[in-house]
Amino acid sequence: MTALVALDGVSKFYGNVKALTGVSLEVHAGEITCVLGDNGAGKSTLIKIIAGLHQHDAGSFRIEGEETRLGSPREALDRGIATVYQDLAVVPLMPVWRNFFLGSEPTTGAGPFKRLDVRTMRETTRAELLRMGIDLRDVDQPIGTLSGGERQCVAIARAVYFGAKVLVLDEPTAALGVKQSGVVLKYVAAARDAGLGVVLITHNPHHAYLVGDRFVLLKRGTMAGSHLKAEIELEELTRQMAGGSELEQLSHELARTAPGEFPGGHRPG
């Protein structure tokens, strides 16, 4: 099966700085590809390439088998790639239905009598949220009154409605508590079950393992691992992301350090 999105040996340079070097991943319909890494691992650069904000400098970027160099986020959207960023672009005081259609509002009438089709927007927003299993009390409430998890879920439902084939989620659970994170992951899985290919960017291996089908680990802009879920256990995924051999070396050093003593044999004071 041809991947919806495939990156092969992709690199990105900013002057002499290597932001990404030789990164490869595949995104398939009905699957979640999780990209894991700490701050500075290259996750943001990878998002920007897939979303059309930046172009790669080396390697191959294919959409449904076609070699591609996206020139803008609009071009990415036109090719079926929707990106939901951690800091959602919403208008807090506008109602949920207005934010759902922001920038793509349907109208009724013609000429000087053209106006927003508010009824259609309300009904469609309510129906699409329910289809994703999101039951809001009132789509007329300002979106700013929703929890962070609920706003993320509205953004996911919006991307599905507007025909996204690939959904890129930038740290959707980073600023959320345990319960709200669970809610968001539920709807991430719902997007996968609706047939989308999902790219989940996260630094939380536990969240990734709950929903992920493929895992790509980044470290300082390079590949630190690539696994199918059947090939790796959560404990090993966590170990690799946390540093692997580096973490083991640190554990040995800490074990050799006597209580009240700093590494190197020095005592405080």
Residue ranges of domains in the chain: 5-92+163-255
At residue 49, does pLDDT exceed 90?
yes
Q: What share of the chain is helix, strand, coil (3-state, %, to 5)?
A: 40, 25, 35
At residue 248, does pLDDT exceed 70?
no
Question: Which tokens hold the place of 131?
Answer: 């289809």
Q: Going by DSSP bridges, is the β-strand pair 166-170/222-228 parallel, antiparallel, or unpaired? A: unpaired
SS3 (DSSP) at 216: strand
Give percent of the chain with pLDDT exceeding 70.
90
b/e code 225-255 from CB counts within 10 Å (16+ = b) = bbbebeebeeeebbbbbeeeeeeeeeeeeee
**Hey, how many other C-beta atoms are within 10 angstroms of the C-beta on 130?**
12
Write the burial class of residue 155 (CB in 10 Å: 0-12 exposed, 13-18 middle, 19+ buried). buried
CATH fit for domain 5-92+163-255, picks 3.30.565.10, 3.30.70.380, 3.40.250.10, 3.40.50.300: 3.40.50.300
The pLDDT of residue 258 is: 55
Q: Residue range 139-168: average pLDDT?
A: 91
The pLDDT of residue 112 is: 85
At residue 215, does pLDDT exceed 90?
yes
